[in-house]
Amino acid sequence: MTLLGAASAAAAVISGRRKVFYGWWLLAAAVAAMALESGVSSWSFGLYGDPLEGEFGWSRAEVALGFSLSLLVSGLVAPLVGRWIDTRGPRSAGSSSSR
């Protein structure tokens, strides 16, 4: 698609002559969900440090070690889970779905 073609397609969507492809709405929702998830889990870890230290009596190093280990295990297991899903499909083997 040329730049002129892309501009005319965008103009058609903005003017209401053509609807936005539903896949773009799915992509926007997925991006928003991933941004929310990373903000809640990874980037806000500093907010959880002091409460975890006080509740369990751990040092800051122990809390950080637990968080680091969870990231390490997730990173090591992710290729295996990806391979599993590629070979068996996204549905679990034990799900009862009518085919």
| pLDDT computed for residue 97 by the predictor | 53
What pLDDT score was predicted for residue 1?
59
Band the pLDDT of 93: cuts 50, 70, 90: low
- What pLDDT sits at residue 96? 55
Q: pLDDT digits over 29-78, tens only? A: 999 999 898 888 777 888 888 999 999 999 999 999 998 998 899 999 99
Question: Domain extents for the chain?
Answer: 14-88
Cβ contacts of residue 49 below 8 Å, gap of 6+? Answer: 60, 63, 64
